């Protein structure tokens, strides 16, 4: 069994990953920045571990039996170009880290810690104890948290928010969330989105991006949010209209936002503005570079999943989490 790993996120876990593979497995780690090196390594590969497999890569890999993404996304894997029978699989395990992000961002913004941090660096004690005009803030125990999307990410976020005493509501495209089972106040479809926005103090967006969800929260929806509410987007940037969100934050029509997913990404390298508006100039925005799920624990568990699937493949068993089979 020959495995090509073309995902830089797994490099720090190389020893653990290789130790978990079946005996006799040969592993190649080409420089992921060198397309030629990756393509050349695929000539006799049985497994490609990567979130990307172009038609050219597939053509260079006649023996390929499994393409395994080290994450949920498989949209950059050209399944149609793969040899018939090739499996495409993915793995998750980012929900715990993303839930940590959501709850910490909600506390940071809702309690005014970003504002207080900036003020105290200049010697100003921005607290009602020292500044009578400073606002009193609320804990999550008094909050209603609205979930736009309630898959494994939303559900895990809700477990943490619920542990702190928050109330929860949720909307999904299919409307198939059992509110009683999940201990939510109510659940509904996207037709109930306006009601969710009007009644939520924290809005957690984890819906995937599709034609139906692009701009799901537009100008009309943002206008229905509560004045002090906080929006946390860990789904995809364009689910929330950029122009409407920026204006609401700039004009303080809402309390703040934590944005981990964006409208523009660097074409290469690590530099580039994340949007078309200067979000960085706003003091009510927490900006992070799509890193909410990026912890060592996330990738350690993903590496274990991938190694287990390679073991299944070597044993003639069907891999888990197969999302597509080339025809």
DSSP notation for 210-270? -TTTTTSB-HHHHTTS-TT-EEEE-S-GGGB-HHHHHHHHHTTSSSEEEE-S-S---SSTT
Cβ–Cβ under 8 Å, residues 262 and 275: yes
Q: How far is it between the farthest Cα atoms of the chain? A: 72
Q: Note the pLDDT of residue 268.
A: 86
Q: Which helix (H) or strand (E) holds 113?
A: helix 113-120
The CA distances from residue 4 to 26, 36, 87, 308, 311, in Å, are 9, 13, 15, 15, 15
Q: How many residues does the chain have?
A: 327
Interhelix angle 152-163/95-110, rounded to 10 degrees, is 50
Buried/exposed code over 143-172 (b: 16+ C-beta within 10 A; e: otherwise)? bbbbbbbbbbbbbbbbebbbeeebbbbbbb
Count the Cβ atoms, other than its own, within 10 Å of residue 77.
27
Q: What is the CATH number of domain 2-93+296-325?
A: 3.40.50.720
Q: Give me the residues of the chain with pLDDT under 50, please.
A: none
32/57 Cα distance (integer angstroms): 13
**Helix or strand or coil: residue 25?**
coil
23/20 Cα distance (integer angstroms): 9
Q: What is the CATH number of domain 95-287?
A: 3.40.50.720
149/212 Cα distance (integer angstroms): 13
Q: Note the pLDDT of residue 117.
A: 95
Q: Note the pLDDT of residue 246.
A: 98
Could you tell me where the DSSP H helices lie in 133-228?
Answer: 152-163, 179-182, 193-199, 219-222
Torsion angles phi and psi, residue 197, rounded to 5 = -65, -35
Calculated CA dihedral for residues 102, 294, 56, 319, nearest 10 degrees: -90
Predicted structure pTM score: 0.91
Calculated CA dihedral for residues 93, 97, 103, 108, nearest 10 degrees: -160
The closest of 213, 190, 9, 205 to 105, measured between CA atoms, is 205
Q: Note the pLDDT of residue 136.
A: 93
- Where does the chain hold its CATH 3.40.50.720 domain(s)? 2-93+296-325, 95-287
The CA distances from residue 195 to 97, 288, 327, in Å, are 29, 28, 44
Count the Cβ atoms, other than its own, within 10 Å of residue 99.
25
């Amino acid at each position: 069994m020959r495995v090509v790993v073309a995902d830089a996120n797994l490099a720090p876990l190389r020893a653990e990953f290789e130790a978990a593979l079946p005996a006799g497995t040969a592993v190649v780690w080409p420089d992921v920045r060198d397309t030629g090196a990756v393509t050349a390594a695929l000539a006799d590969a049985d497994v490609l571990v990567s979130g990307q497999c172009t038609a050219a890569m597939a053509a260079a890999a006649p023996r390929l039996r499994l393409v395994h993404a080290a994450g949920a996304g498989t949209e950059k894997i050209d399944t149609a170009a793969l040899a018939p029978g090739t499996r495409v699989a993915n793995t998750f395990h980012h929900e715990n880290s993303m839930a940590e992000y959501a709850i910490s961002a909600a506390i940071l913004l809702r309690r005014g810690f970003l504002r207080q941090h900036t003020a105290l660096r200049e010697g100003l004690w921005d607290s009602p104890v020292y500044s009578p005009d400073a606002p009193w803030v609320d804990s999550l125990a008094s909050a209603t948290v609205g979930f736009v999307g309630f898959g494994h990410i939303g559900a895990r976020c809700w477990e943490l928010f619920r542990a702190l005493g928050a109330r929860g509501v949720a909307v999904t495209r299919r409307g198939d969330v059992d509110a009683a089972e999940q201990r939510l106040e109510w659940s509904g479809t996207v037709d109930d989105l306006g009601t969710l926005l009007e009644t939520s103090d924290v809005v957690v967006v984890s819906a995937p991006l599709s034609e139906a969800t692009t701009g799901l929260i537009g100008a009309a929806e943002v206008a229905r949010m509560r004045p002090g509410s906080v929006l946390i987007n860990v789904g995809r940037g364009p689910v929330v209209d950029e122009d409407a969100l920026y204006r609401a934050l700039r004009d303080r029509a809402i309390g703040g936002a934590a944005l981990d997913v964006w409208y523009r990404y660097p074409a290469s390298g690590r530099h580039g503005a994340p949007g078309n508006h200067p979000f960085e100039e706003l003091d009510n925005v927490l900006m992070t570079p799509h890193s909410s799920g990026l912890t060592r624990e996330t990738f350690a568990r993903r590496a274990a999943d991938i190694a287990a699937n390679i073991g299944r493949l070597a044993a003639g068993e069907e891999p888990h989490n197969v999302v597509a089979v080339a025809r």
